[in-house]
């Protein structure tokens, strides 16, 4: 009997080892494929292959779910009947933790493990013993920027120094007019330093070694540091028929925050240590969530992990803050709600849509998926989809809870003092444009209306028609940008037939 028990244990241990190997191969394979797609961005930029860049952007977004599904199949084959055995997963989590402990991307590995684990166990809420909930043990360790950055000391931003900075990057094409660009940039930088530091003192330029690529642009991102000074330094590059050129120089924190806005497509940038890159960017943009920065770099699944951790922290720190209806008119398709002291909005699809809405659940979900993969041009809000999110019912205002129970039964379950959100969209909170205009003075309102017009034009430029142009469907960001966030009637502009009013 003892020998049989030992043999059975050994068999189960072997199957867990094979499953762990399959999971590990899935993650490392994903990393290689992610990097390969990211690396191609430089070639697309060099060859002005914008359709190729767009295809790779979509391919990289699709990659994660494809690899997770493939890994789940391999792990299930290894575990057989024990594929949903918590004991096995408890052991696998411990061993996987040992494997990733010293890795530069341990946080991404833990998120990948969670994705496979939750998919296979069909987890509702969280299972701390079976998945990674807390941040990595070195998440708060001192930053190590040595391999991430290159530095250059200067007393004065001469054209020669800026030219040297621009030449340090491994760019896929030559500059068309490097000396002219360097001279113009040096003049702008000198003016900024005169304003912020009276132009005196020793300064250091710190630049991320890898260029950031997105759509038709490339960005060289860094900062100028000095005594009591930190100034963003971003060279926005274009590629014309004659070669590369500096299209814009960003030296204000507001400008770099817009560059990394939640209304843009994700960057393609090579990074040996994503965590260190996020820390550096966080130092440039302290008000940005860590989650937003991961998402902006293309690690959107780990960004979702960080968003969930933010929710847990907020509920612990602001225990009296409850979900309630978001400000503005109630949606006919969505129930929108948020916690007043938080900057995130949650959206549930209603069971039935009021007239004149005729879309189906699947069509609405399809519109959100369409936006997720489309160029957003700084005018479409990034939305993250959560499944089986579990929150205590005491965290909801009674009227909101009643509406969820009556109007969103297809996407929620309310039981045992908990609310399970089976399919919920999460996005950054903004002030609806209609409310903003009511509260704004004349000058501010005029600027917002002009922004509204530019938003419609920018959407048209990327072949998007909002469908519903009512101002309640647009929001205003903290930086005064107007963006669109109501996607149920959104469609390609080329699908529309516009007629003159009689």
pLDDT, tens only, 409-437 = 999 999 988 999 999 999 999 999 999 99
Q: Are residues 410 and 266 in the same domain?
A: no
Tokens of 457: 């034009």
In a domain, 142, yes or no: no
Q: Which of 253, 275, 308 is the last residue of a domain?
A: 308
CATH at 342? 1.10.510.10
Q: Are residues 176 and 245 in the same domain?
A: yes
- Return the bridge partners of 347, or none: 336, 425
Distance CA 226, CA 224 (A): 7
Q: Are residues 300 and 324 in the same domain?
A: no
Q: Are residues 301 and 351 in the same domain?
A: no
Distance CA 57, CA 36 (A): 12
271 Cβ neighbours under 8 A, 6+ residues apart: 148, 210, 277, 297
pLDDT, tens only, 92-142 = 999 999 989 888 999 999 999 999 999 999 998 888 899 999 876 555 555
Distance CA 387, CA 369 (A): 15
pLDDT of residue 147: 75
Distance CA 102, CA 109 (A): 11
- DSSP character string of 110-170: HHHHHHHHHHHHT-SS--TTTS--SPPTTTTSPP--TTTEEEEEESS--HHHHHHHHHTS-
Q: Which of 308, 336, 368 is the last residue of a domain?
A: 308
Q: Are residues 468 and 379 in the same domain?
A: yes
pLDDT of residue 25: 96
pLDDT of residue 156: 84
- Return the bridge partners of 239, or none: 244
Tokens of 5: 């028990």
Domain range holding 55? 1-121
Q: Are residues 283 and 171 in the same domain?
A: yes
Q: What angle do CA 117, 122, 126 make, to 5 degrees?
A: 70
Number of domains in the chain: 3
In a domain, 10, yes or no: yes
Q: What angle do CA 55, 300, 476 make, to 5 degrees?
A: 95
Q: In the annotation, is 382 catalytic?
A: yes
Q: Are residues 361 and 328 in the same domain?
A: yes
Cα–Cα distance list, 130 to 53, 108, 111, 363 (Å): 38, 17, 12, 35
In a domain, 501, yes or no: no
In a domain, 356, yes or no: yes
Catalytic residue selected from 375, 382, 486, 488: 382
Q: Are residues 303 and 323 in the same domain?
A: no
Q: Are residues 107 and 180 in the same domain?
A: no
Distance CA 269, CA 299 (A): 11
Q: Which of 272, 290, 308 is the last residue of a domain?
A: 308
In a domain, 394, yes or no: yes
Give the other-Cβ count within 10 Å of 395's Cβ: 17
In a domain, 374, yes or no: yes
Q: How far apart are the first and last CA of the chain?
A: 90
- Return the bridge partners of 420, or none: 390, 413
Q: What Rg value do the Cα atoms of the chain yield, rounded?
A: 25
Q: Are residues 300 and 370 in the same domain?
A: no
pLDDT of residue 231: 93
Residue numbers of the chain with a pLDDT score lower than 70:
1-13, 136-146, 197-200
Q: Are residues 161 and 278 in the same domain?
A: yes
Cα–Cα distance list, 415 to 99, 412, 420, 425 (Å): 38, 10, 8, 21
In a domain, 126, yes or no: no
In a domain, 138, yes or no: no
Q: Find out whether 481 and 258 touch, Cβ atoms under 8 Å.
A: yes
pLDDT of residue 227: 82
Q: Are residues 232 and 304 in the same domain?
A: yes
- Return the bridge partners of 177, or none: none
Distance CA 345, CA 353 (A): 20
């Amino acid at each position: 009997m003892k020998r049989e028990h030992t043999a059975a244990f050994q068999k189960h241990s072997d199957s867990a080892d094979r499953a762990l190997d399959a999971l590990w191969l899935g993650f490392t394979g994903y990393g290689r494929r992610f990097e390969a797609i990211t690396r191609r961005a430089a070639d697309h930029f060099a060859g002005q292959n914008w359709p190729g860049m767009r295809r790779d952007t979509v391919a990289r977004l699709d990659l994660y779910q494809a690899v997770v599904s493939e890994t789940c199949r391999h792990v299930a084959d290894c575990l057989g009947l024990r594929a949903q055995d918590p004991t096995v997963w408890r052991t696998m989590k411990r061993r996987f933790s040992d494997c990733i402990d010293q890795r530069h991307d341990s946080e991404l590995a833990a998120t990948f493990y969670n994705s496979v684990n939750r998919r296979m166990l069909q987890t509702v809420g969280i299972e701390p013993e079976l998945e990674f909930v807390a941040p990595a043990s070195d998440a708060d360790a001192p930053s190590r920027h040595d391999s991430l950055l290159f530095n250059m000391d200067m007393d004065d931003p001469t054209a020669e120094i800026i030219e040297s900075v621009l030449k340090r990057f491994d760019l896929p094409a030559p500059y068309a007019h490097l000396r002219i660009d360097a001279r113009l940039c040096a003049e702008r930088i000198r003016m900024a330093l005169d304003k912020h530091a009276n132009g005196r003192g020793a300064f250091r330029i710190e630049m991320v070694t890898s260029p950031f690529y997105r759509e038709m642009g490339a960005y060289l991102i860094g900062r100028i540091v000095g005594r009591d000074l930190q100034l963003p330094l971003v060279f926005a590059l274009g590629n014309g028929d004659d070669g590369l050129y500096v299209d814009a120089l960003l030296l204000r924190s507001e400008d770099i925050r817009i560059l990394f806005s939640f209304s843009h497509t994700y960057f393609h940038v090579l990074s040996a240590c994503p965590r260190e890159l996020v820390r550096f960017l966080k130092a440039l943009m302290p008000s940005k969530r860590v989650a937003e920065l991961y998402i902006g770099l293309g690690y959107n699944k780990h960004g979702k992990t960080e968003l969930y951790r933010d929710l847990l922290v907020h509920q612990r720190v602001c225990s009296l803050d409850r979900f309630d209806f978001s400000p503005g008119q109630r949606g006919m398709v969505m129930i929108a709600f948020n916690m007043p002291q938080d900057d995130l909005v949650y959206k549930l699809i209603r069971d039935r849509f009021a007239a004149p809405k005729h879309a189906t659940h699947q069509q609405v979900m399809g519109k959100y998926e369409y936006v997720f993969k489309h160029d957003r041009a700084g005018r479409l809000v990034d939305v993250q989809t959560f499944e089986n999110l579990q929150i205590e019912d005491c965290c909801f205002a009674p009227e909101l809870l009643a509406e969820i129970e009556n109007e969103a039964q297809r996407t929620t379950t309310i039981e045992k003092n908990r609310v399970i959100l089976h399919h919920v969209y999460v996005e950054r909170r903004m002030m609806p444009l209609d409310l903003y205009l009511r509260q704004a003075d004349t000058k501010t309102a005029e600027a917002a209306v002009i922004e509204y017009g530019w938003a419609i034009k920018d959407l048209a430029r990327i072949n998007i028609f909002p469908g519903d142009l009512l101002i309640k469907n647009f929001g205003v960001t903290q930086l005064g940008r107007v963006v669109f966030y109501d996607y149920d009637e959104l469609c390609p502009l080329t699908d529309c037939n516009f007629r003159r009013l009689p």
